[in-house]
Amino acid sequence: MDKNSALNNSAEIEHCYSLARARYAALGVDVDNALKELESIPLSIHCWQGDDVIGFDGAQALSGGILATGSYPGRARNGDELRQDAELAFSLIPGKKRFNLHAMYAETGNTKVDRDEIQPEHFARWLAWAKEKNLGIDFNPSFFSHPLAESGFTLASPNDDIRKFWVRHGIACRKISQYFADELKDTVVNNFWAPDGFKDMPADRLGPRLRLQESLDTMFREPMPNDRVIDTVESKLFGIGSEAYVVGSHEFYMGYASKRNMGLCLDMGHFHPTETIADKISSLLLFVPQIAIHLSRGVRWDSDHIVTWTDDFQNVANEVVRIKAWDRIHLLLDYFDASINRIAAWVIGARNVQKALLFALVQPIAQLREYEAKGDYTRRLALTEEAKNLPFAAVWDYYCLTQSVPIGSDWMNKVSNYEDEVLSKRN
Ligand code: RNT
Ligand code: ZN
């Protein structure tokens, strides 16, 4: 394909868009408005796809029941490389972007600083970059890939010292989130996920949950002066090595978040294989103040494949778009694939999120709701299906054009060039 096809074809793209706009208008859909709304929905891009979730604090391997498989060349090895790679990804993804950091991406220079002692100053370079690039920041304590996580238990550990170490880590991360929120004058989603669980059938399911609850209570006891920090807790059904039991299950965190009036994080890959989160959002919003969604794709026992444009994913996009609670719903990517170009992995997933959101925004929802109110479920289904055939691609291409990002798969040319010029020289 012509490397400059986006530029050469802009008149054609605009023409197709005007035809598409008329088709949608006939069904009562204002696509200009849809594009304006899409532009305002932030998507948080996860730092950890860029380096296989390894971080900068000396971890030798990923632990905690998650695994980035593959050995594609060019992994980012430090903050500068990760930022440079992310900038290329940003230039290929339309819409408003945030960046999601994990605590283990602290930059401590030549000094070894353990996780319970990290300070805001260790994120000064990330902050300067966020300011320069006008990015919002989200944050996560890292309860894995550390010697004190090797038993498989952190916040729910039966060992007092281990538990206290991780509680101190959680508190340190709340302070760092506070720092980003203050400095950027913006909200920060600070998401807590701990891997704790058993490979095989527990003899005591309650004890670890009581300990996790107590650790969380200690971490969250002190209110943060800035209400821009949104603490969220993330559940999981099982992980590699925690197949039989995860302490922080869905029921545990759903109960905890609603009792403590705090945020809940739903990861799309953390439920039974046929269970979807689309139908959970409208219920949970009645009982918890904030919902973070980890946009991901479960495949058999893996919860972290690159987001593709599936029906399941579209259903989630439909829900968040229809609920329109953008001050209470936060979209964050969460997957890791080391078997393909890592920048392409970011771009494929993020563009799919934008596509699904746009597709949701241009559905004839007013008409569908009218049919529903009348009890005319036949027309509701007929229109739902016919609407899939509207000229959506013309609207998407136009959006990419107005956002100055490549049209179609042209973005791969930029990634390939970068692979030749930069990634292939890393070893
Ligand atoms: C793991 C959780 C968690 C992590 C990241 C790295 O199963 O989904 O969110 O993927 O925090
Ligand atoms: Zn997750």
Three-class DSSP category at 218: helix
| Residue among 191, 233, 334, 336 to mutate when testing ligand 1 (max atoms within 8 A of CB) | 334
Q: Residue whose CA is closest, atom 2 of ligand 1?
A: 193
Q: Residue whose CA is closest, atom 10 of ligand 1?
A: 334
Both structure tokens of 425: 């020289």
Q: Is the pLDDT of residue 427 over 90?
A: no
Neighbours of 281 (CB within 10 A): 18
263-291 tens-digit pLDDT: 999 999 999 999 999 999 999 999 999 99
Q: Residue whose CA is closest, atom 11 of ligand 1?
A: 193
How far is it, in rounded angstroms, from Cα 89 to Cα 9? 23
Q: Is 427 exposed, middle or buried (0-12, 13-18, 19+ CB in 10 A)?
A: exposed
From the CA of 37, how far away is ligand 1's center (Å)?
29
Q: Residue whose CA is closest, atom 7 of ligand 1?
A: 66
| Residue among 45, 47, 66 to mutate when testing ligand 1 (max atoms within 8 A of CB) | 66
Q: What residues flank ligand 1, with Cβ below 6 Å? A: 48, 53, 66, 140, 193, 234, 236, 267, 294, 303-304, 334
How far is it, in rounded angstroms, from Cα 105 to Cα 285? 31
Task: Report the pLDDT averaged over residues 360-377.
Answer: 98
C-beta separation of 192 from 233 below 8 A: yes
C-beta separation of 24 from 362 below 8 A: yes
Three-class DSSP category at 102: strand
pLDDT at residue 225, rounded to an integer: 74
Question: Running DSSP on this structure, what letter comes out for residue 330?
Answer: E
Q: Is the pLDDT of residue 21 over 90?
A: yes
Both structure tokens of 305: 């494949």
Strand runs (DSSP E) across 123-217, as ranges? 136-140, 188-192, 197-198
pLDDT at residue 8, rounded to an integer: 57
How far is it, in rounded angstroms, from Cα 256 to Cα 74? 41
Neighbours of 321 (CB within 10 A): 23
Neighbours of 377 (CB within 10 A): 10
Confidence band (pLDDT; 50, 70, 90) for 1? very low
C-beta separation of 321 from 35 below 8 A: no
List the catalytic residues: 193, 234, 236, 267, 270, 294, 302, 304, 334
Question: Running DSSP on this structure, what letter comes out for residue 306?
Answer: P
C-beta separation of 345 from 85 below 8 A: no
From the CA of 101, how far away is ligand 2's center (Å)?
13
In angstroms, what is the C-alpha Rg of the chain? Answer: 22
Binning the chain into helix, strand and coil, the percentages to the nearest 5 are 50, 15, 40
43-89 tens-digit pLDDT: 999 999 999 999 999 887 899 999 999 999 999 999 999 999 999 99
How far is it, in rounded angstroms, from Cα 379 to Cα 372? 9
Strand runs (DSSP E) across 200-319, as ranges? 229-234, 245-246, 263-267, 291-295, 297-299, 302-305
285: Cβ contacts below 8 Å, ≥ 6 apart: 291, 323, 325, 328, 329
- Which atom of ligand 1 is found nearest the CA of 239? 7
Task: Report the pLDDT averaged over residues 18-31.
Answer: 98
Q: What angle do CA 151, 156, 159 make, to 5 degrees?
A: 60
301-330 tens-digit pLDDT: 999 999 999 999 999 999 999 999 999 999
Domains annotated for the chain, with CATH where assigned, are 41-425 (3.20.20.150)
202-258 tens-digit pLDDT: 999 999 999 999 999 999 998 877 789 999 999 999 999 999 999 999 999 999 999
- Which atom of ligand 1 is found nearest the CA of 334? 10
pLDDT at residue 61, rounded to an integer: 83
142-192 tens-digit pLDDT: 999 999 999 999 999 999 999 999 999 999 999 999 999 999 999 999 999
Q: How far apart are the first and last CA of the chain?
A: 31
Q: Is the pLDDT of residue 196 over 90?
A: yes
Question: Running DSSP on this structure, what letter comes out for residue 317?
Answer: H
How far is it, in rounded angstroms, from Cα 48 to Cα 342? 10
Measuring CA to CA, which residue among 150, 155, 153 is closest to residue 220? 155
79-134 tens-digit pLDDT: 999 999 999 999 999 999 999 999 999 999 999 999 999 999 999 999 999 999 99
Phi and psi angles of residue 10, each rounded to the nearest 5 degrees, phi first: -60, -35
Q: Residue whose CA is closest, atom 5 of ligand 1?
A: 334
C-beta separation of 312 from 351 below 8 A: no
How far is it, in rounded angstroms, from Cα 168 to Cα 162? 10
Any idea which ligand is nearest the CA of 52? Answer: 1
DSSP lists the bridge partners of residue 139 as: 101, 190
Both structure tokens of 19: 């035809």
